Amino acid sequence: MNTKRVVITGIGIISPIGNSKSDFWSSLIGGKGGIGPNTKFDVSEHTSKIAGEVKNFDASHLINSKEARRMDGFVQYALVAADEAIKDAKLDLQNENPERMGCIVSSGIGGLITIEEQHKILLEKGPKRISPFLIPMLIINMASGQIAINYNLKGPNLAVVTACASSNHGIGEAYRIIQNSKADVMVVGGSENAITPLGLAGFCSARALSTRNDDPEHASRPFDKERDGFIMAEGAAIIILESLEHALARNADIVAEIVGYGATCDAYHMTAPDPGARGAVRSMELALEDAGISPDKVDYINAHGTSTRLNDKIESKAIKLAFKEHAKKLMVSSTKSMTGHMLGAAGAIEASATALALKEGIIPPTINYSVPDPDCDLDYVPNEARKVDFSIALSNSLGFGGHNATIAIKKFNES
């Protein structure tokens, strides 16, 4: 069966380093981080007291106060990012067939703050005081559901939940849907709003977070020898995918082309990556096989790069195993050094960064890289963006449960 080519035509961002595509990109290439003290609640008893918070978020132009009270923050982030992405793509939805437009928006955790707030009400005031909107506020599929309601998207609609690989898997599945002619347009991405007392405590107890509380700006330091954990972050990224045929017919501005998708599982441990790195290796190999691209043609990898001891070591190993001698020629960076770890939204925001890097010819850096680690010995584009014309990139996401997802993205060329 002939499959359709799939392109990116719009991007919407809510993040710790900017609440628009332009602000996000400007921060990335300027090496501007968004990590600071956690101001959301009292963190005096938490071991990690820092976070990548969204600043100055305003949804009032899109969501009225009554709707906002019935909508968890992760859904609000997703809606605002989707609105920007649709506008960025210049999609005239009135002239589209709603049954040919779908939506996949993922989250790793969903409405955790809603659960915490309503559980407190349950304990203090009893079950009769629980909000009738509790369940629709907390369930992860409500982001994609609300976007579909707002924009009359009647095609395939779902949410992929694979921890920190969620939105990369979502992009891959949306890519397949368009490839196989099941939709012309897919609104796809991820959203997270899990910086809550319980969410932070859970990751603190797992000893997964940085405790560089006195120096938050330098706490997220992927691949650096002195890294001590990731930093929780929040926000959303939404991408508009279209078949090339559909995009060209409406003269859309194409950002980049998705050309491959790989998905595997370590089948090893709940939270730790397989020491042999085979799952991550195979995920990259499958994406390249799907794209029909040999490893030596890849120029850049936007790494999962969490700033944890194990992830960065094992992902570096996986890249060396997958690319062999070519690994030394690859540019590899982790934009989590600036955004922090947006959990289920990480894949979408990093795929967005990768697509913009291809279009603009600028590789975003890994900031806070100062002490080389013998276990991490690749070119991590340290501290400063690199202007270079390049053609092919991968974006990796690796999640708890051993989930691996890789997207292959190519600089757009119509031929």
pLDDT in tens, 168-222: 999 999 999 999 999 999 999 999 999 999 999 999 999 999 999 999 999 999 9
Token pair belonging to 164: 């920190």
pLDDT value at residue 176: 98
pLDDT 10s digits, 55-100: 999 999 999 999 999 999 999 999 999 999 999 999 999 999 999 9
CA distance 367 to 160: 30
**Do the Cβ atoms of 101 and 156 come closer than 8 Å?**
no
pLDDT 10s digits, 323-344: 999 999 999 999 999 999 999 9
Smallest Cα–Cα separation from 412: which of 256, 240, 241? 256
Sign of CA dihedral 46, 52, 58, 59: negative
Is 70 buried (19+), middle (13-18) or exposed (0-12) by CB count in 10 A?
middle
Q: Is the pLDDT of residue 405 over 80?
A: yes
Instruction: Give the residue numbers annotated as catalytic, written as ranges.
Output: 164, 304, 341
CA distance 83 to 76: 11
CA distance 205 to 221: 21
What average pLDDT does the segment 364-374 reach? 98
pLDDT 10s digits, 122-164: 999 999 999 999 999 999 999 999 999 999 999 999 999 999 9
CA distance 70 to 146: 11
pLDDT range class, residue 1, cuts 50, 70, 90: low
CA distance 415 to 295: 21
Q: Is the pLDDT of residue 355 over 80?
A: yes
pLDDT range class, residue 414, cuts 50, 70, 90: confident
CA distance 313 to 317: 6
CA distance 280 to 193: 27
C-alpha 28 chain-centroid distance: 14
Q: Is the pLDDT of residue 379 over 80?
A: yes
pLDDT 10s digits, 23-63: 999 999 999 999 999 999 999 999 999 999 999 999 999 99
CA distance 349 to 355: 10
pLDDT value at residue 2: 74
Smallest Cα–Cα separation from 148: which of 188, 195, 206, 190? 188
Buried b (16+ CB within 10 A) or exposed e, 278-317: bbbbbbbbbbbebbebebeebbbbbbbbbbbeebbbbbbb
Relative to beta strand 256-265, strand 300-302 is unpaired
Q: Which amino acid is at 118?
A: Q
